[in-house]
Amino acid sequence: MFAIDTNLLVYAHNTDSQWNKKISAFLEKVMNERDEDGYPIVCLPTQVLAEFVNVITRSNLKKPLSIADATNVIKDYLSAGIKIIHQQETQIQTFLQLLGSVTTRKKVFDVVLAATLKDNAISGLYTVNTDDFNDFDFLEVINPLELEE
């Protein structure tokens, strides 16, 4: 299973993004795919959903969403049956373990996300920021912008 990173949600819902159409099409495709048991092949971490609201409502965007509109986007994902993953009880221990592999404070929230993925046995991440996750060998990290159409 692959998780969706915040930047993909922002590009898909920011109509001014140069990647809006491509990422929107990618997300629609993967969010509608199911495994052999009928379950979605992607998930959304709660951290990603919170970060999405924070970013997509920023006033420095040409067309920011309102909090209500951003909330409705999340509700749409929930009603679509996309699996939502949460931090586990082991989160702090996994976070501390993974934190040993980074050398800059700028990666703290990436480490938190990686810990959530690891604790939930998620082996992949779709993100534009692939370099941010190179330190985590348990993850297959794919940039959808680099995929063949």
For residue range 5-50, list pLDDT tens digits in order: 999 999 999 999 999 999 999 999 999 999 999 888 999 999 999 9
Q: Which residue has the higher pLDDT, 39 or 130?
A: 130
Report yes or no: 86 and 113 within 8 Å, Cβ to Cβ. Answer: no
Distance CA 70, CA 67 (A): 5
CATH topology for the 2-143 domain: Rossmann fold (3.40.50)
Q: What single DSSP character describes residue 145?
A: G
Share of the chain above pLDDT 70, in %: 99
pLDDT tens figures, 54-75: 999 999 999 999 999 999 999 9
The full set of domain ranges for the chain reads 2-143
Quote the CA–CA distance of 44 and 86 in Å, as a whole number.
9
